[in-house]
Amino acid sequence: MAVSYKRLWKLLVNKVGILSSRTVNEVMIVGGGRITYYLTNMLLELGMDVKIIEINKDKCVNIGTHSQ
């Protein structure tokens, strides 16, 4: 069953308890692992600005250049 990114985002917002009336435009992610790569692509597709904090510069650049 395919689930859209927008639906997944709404589920996440409800689980975390973020008010649905708030608009999120910017996201900061700490750590540059495999989940960060997929999450970054999903957030960029939703039109959000994403900042990644990663101690390994090469890993961070790699995620940035391979994301949308």
Q: Count structural domains, the chain.
A: 1
Q: In the predicted model, is pLDDT for residue 16 greater than 70?
A: yes
What is the pTM for the complete model shown? 0.64
Phi, psi of 12 (to 5 degrees): -65, -45
Residue 49 CA, chain-centre distance (Å), reads 9
Pairs from 58-62 (Cβ < 8 Å, separation ≥ 24): 59/32, 60/32, 62/32
How does pLDDT run across 23-61, given as a tens digit for each residue?
778 999 999 888 898 889 888 988 899 999 999 988 888
d(C-alpha 20, C-alpha 31), whole Å: 26
Question: What is the reported pLDDT for 30?
Answer: 93
Summarize the confidence of residues 10-16 as an average pLDDT. 78
Cβ-in-10-Å burial (0-12, 13-18, 19+) of 29 comes to: middle
Domain of residue 28 covers 5-66
